[in-house]
Structure 1
Amino acid sequence: MAQENQDFYMKNKRTSIKDIAKALNVSITTISFVLNGKGEERKISKEVIKKIEDYAEQVNYRPNQVAQSLRTGKSKILVFMAEDIGNIFFAKIGRIIENIAYKKGYKVLFASTDNDDVRSRELIDVFHERQVDGFIIVPSPGIKTDIERLIASDIPVVLCDRHFKDLDSNYVMLNNYGASKRATDHLIENGYKNIAFITIDTEQNQMIERAQGYIDTVQAARLPVNVVSIPFSETNTEKGKIILREAFSSKSSNIDAVLFSTNYLTQNSLELFNEISPSLMHELGIITFDDDPFFKINTPSISSVAQPLQEIGEECMRIIFKLLKDKDRRNTTKTKVVLDALLIARDSSQRKKNF
């Protein structure tokens, strides 16, 4: 049994640079230069380079990432922490980030926070202990101090989709106020006069700005303000459905259009419309933040405020790699990127009948 265990260990033992050096009778330094692509630069002969590369392939050599990170101080690993990596909005940004990282020789770890501060802190602590090279974070409401600590520890951090107004940080986000104003203007121009804004109950700046864009626009048009807020923790619960049902089925309700602050609230509400009255989907003017292939094929197709996902992902990565190269990150002026959205007008927001 002992012999079998030893044979198993030897069979599965990771081949090291020392093993290759011993087998080929070549110095460890020479092996290291060749395997790191610096053979010609160090004037190592083509014959020796080929011999080392061929042998490394033969024994299926893979570098020890832990040892490399200890030696270089870099893990070549980044983290993308999002509210829900399963949401199509964050998933698409995550994929863009992953593709760019891979081309640069980095890997990306993904994590969902559920917009929960405790979970966010635990994840930050775990990844920090693992010495990842940088964070791209969609922050939950109460982790400003935790982000401050990361920045103070000289860790590259980019906030995505939202930020903290009183924290000087690198971030990439949408012009939420302008996007909401444009969507509300579109509904007003098409004859809708009782527009509701459905959102989550949060102090996060991106949702506050979306709400304010809506409020300022309807007030300027001398129309009523109707904001329906649902606690984030209740968005997929019966309690959340009750809040939505009351907003749309009340006998006193004369809502003729609705602007949703997130795509998941839209999806939940469209399902609910069928329960209340299938005609609601055709009678109401509807616009949602964040596009989804489902909205394009729905009947009627749903108008959306489409965020520039490619730009968001690219800007996050541009900033994170700039930070990785910067030796004086704490004293460098922070990069703050605000992007514009595209309003995609589909069937659901067309001119109101009898207008």
Structure 2
Amino acid sequence: MKSISLKDIAIALNLSKTTVSYVMNNRGDEKRVSKETQDRIKQYAQTHSYKPNQLARSLSLGKSNMIGLIVPNISDSFFAQIARRIEKKAEKLGYNVVFSSTGESPERESKIIQSMLDRQVDGLIIVSSEKNHDDILKLKKGNFPFVIVGRKYTDIETNVVALEDKDGVTSAVELLIDNGRKYIGFITISLELDSIKDRLKGYKQALKNKNISYNPNVVKHVTYNDVEASLKEAMNELVYQEKVDGIVFATHYLAEEGLRLLKLNNINVPEEVAIVSFGKDRGFDLFDPPLTSVDFPIIEMGDTAVDLLLDAIENKVVATKNIIMKTKLDIKQSCGSI
């Protein structure tokens, strides 16, 4: 069946094309089109399977009803989960989501931002490398709607939805200390991100709270582009040289690989080394032993990011709200509490 146009509907109902356009673009009430006429137009459109011309619609409204989502790695379980939530929330509100991954490359992030703008997205949700100040400033100065998620630009006032990184790690370390662990290592990732730095601050804060001296020898920075090899080296140093009895991992993927290495080397968890992960993968409960984690409110983060962005889009202003989400411990066997 050939699709009908606004003009076809107008002719069939003896109405102007403009009136039909107002109704089909949900502006009937605004333009004082009677409810009876609106119902006639919508009923005819539905009966004859009317499909809007999205390009023409975006040109007439000055909107594409698309938002861009830029993440470091869409295959990472955290980013995949938050992307699904953002897509679901946006779809309910009439928006499509365009995805792209940066691989934590500032250069690629810059190119993707420009590509998204060229595609005329109405706004951006960005999990940024935190190294693209120029691009972020351009978006801000141009009053282009955007939200930074999970990361921060401390020197730029922007819409942010982030986590209590410091407090989350502090709670993880204190849990191990309260379970009797005396010598706790911390494995983090070598990325110059404020969120990653805050996690190290959280580790140090927990030691301070418990009157334990900080030892830099048990803090290991794993190379982002060579996780497997550098994590193996870090684990060997902590377990065999420093002989730690607990480890907190700054990301879920470090914890997954860390547990695998411990089991491979016949190190009993949690009897010999107790572990906690900052962040959770869906498979954590199936691991042996199940992994204790600091959990994130992913649904709330995704929904809040979309709400902030659409508020900026609809109101034509870039409001600045800094929303910090609380984390919570999900205690399983790996920490020695159970």
The alignment's TM-score, normalised by the length of structure 1, stands at 0.85
Which residue in the other structure is 2:143 paired with? 154
What is the CA–CA distance in structure 1 between the aligned matches of 2:60 and 2:259, rounded to whole Å? 54
Match of residue 101 from structure 2: 112
Query: Hey, what does 1:75 align to over in structure 2?
Result: 64
Cα separation, partners in 2 of 1:104 and 1:351, compared to 1, 3 Å: closer
Q: Cα distance, 1:245 vs. partner?
A: 4.6
Are 2:218 and 1:229 equivalent residues in the alignment? no
SS at match of 2:283: helix
Match of 1:344 in 2: 330
* Cα contact 1:79–1:134 (8 A) shared by 2: yes
Partner of 1:142: 131
Per the alignment, residue 261 of structure 2 pairs with 272
Please say if residues 271 and 336 of structure 2, whose CA atoms lie closer than 8 Å, have aligned partners that are also in contact.
Answer: no
Q: CA deviation at 1:81?
A: 1.4
Alpha-carbon offset, residue 115 of structure 1 = 1.3
Q: 1:64 corresponds to which residue? A: 53
Shift of 1:310: 2.4
- 1:165 to 2:143 alignment: no
**Counterpart position of 1:125:** 114
Q: Which of 308, 311, 314 does residue 297 from structure 2 map onto?
A: 308
Q: Which moved more, 1:127-136 or 1:94-103?
A: 94-103
Shift of 1:60: 2.5
SS of alignment partner, residue 311 of structure 1: helix
- Tell me if structure 2 keeps the 8 A contact 1:191–1:351: no
The counterpart of 1:240, out of the listed 222, 226, 230, is 230
Determine the C-alpha separation between the residues in 2 that align with 1:39 and 1:183: 55
- The correspondence of residues 1-355 of structure 1 with structure 2, limited to 5 A, is 15-37=4-26, 42-44=32-34, 46=36, 49=38, 52-219=41-208, 220-222=211-213, 224-225=215-216, 226-235=218-227, 237=228, 239-248=229-238, 250=240, 252-279=241-268, 282-329=271-318, 332=319, 334-350=320-336
TM-score, with structure 2 as normaliser: 0.89
CA distance in 2, matches of 1:287, 1:92: 21
Question: 1:17-66: CA deviations, max 9, x gaps?
Answer: 123334554321232233234557744473x6555434423443211111
Instruction: State whether residues 137 and 157 of structure 1, in contact with CA within 8 Å, keep that contact through their aligned partners in structure 2.
Output: yes
User: How far apart are residue 342 of structure 1 and its match?
Assistant: 0.4
**Structure 1 counterpart of 2:331, one-letter code:** A
For the residue of structure 2 that corresponds to 1:293, the secondary structure is coil
Shift of 1:165: 1.3
Matching residue's letter, 2:233:
I
How far the C-alpha of 1:207 sits from its partner, in A, is 0.4
Structure 1 residue 246: deviation in Å?
3.0
Per-residue deviation, 1:139: 0.2
Aligned residues: 334
SS of the residue 1:62 aligns to: coil
The verdict on how the C-alpha distance between 1:140 and 1:278 changes in structure 2, with shifts beyond 3 A counting, is same
Give the C-alpha shift of residue 214 in structure 1.
0.5
Larger C-alpha radius of gyration, 1 or 2? 1
Segments of structure 1 that go 5 or more residues without pairing to the other structure are 1-10
Shift of 1:204: 0.2
Residue aligned with 1:122, SS: helix
Question: Could you list the per-position Cα deviations for residues 146-184 of structure 1 after superposition, in whole angstroms to 9, with x for gaps in the alignment?
Answer: 111111121111110011111111101111111111111
Distance 1:167 1:86 in 2: 29
Would you say the 8 A contact 1:77–1:133 is kept in 2? yes
Give the aligned residue type for 1:109. V
Could you tell me the percent identity over the aligned residues? 31
5+ unaligned residues in a row in structure 2: which ranges? none
Deviations 1:245-266 (CA, angstroms, capped at 9, x unpaired): 533553x231111000000111
Shift of the 39–117 alpha-carbon distance from structure 1 to 2, 3 Å rule, reads closer
Q: Are the structure 2 counterparts of residues 36 and 271 from structure 1 closer, same or farther at C-alpha, using a change threshold of 3 Å? A: same
Change (3 A) 1:121 1:223: closer
Equivalent residues of 2:331, 2:337 under 8 A apart: no
Q: Is the 8 A contact 2:163 2:296 kept in 1?
A: yes
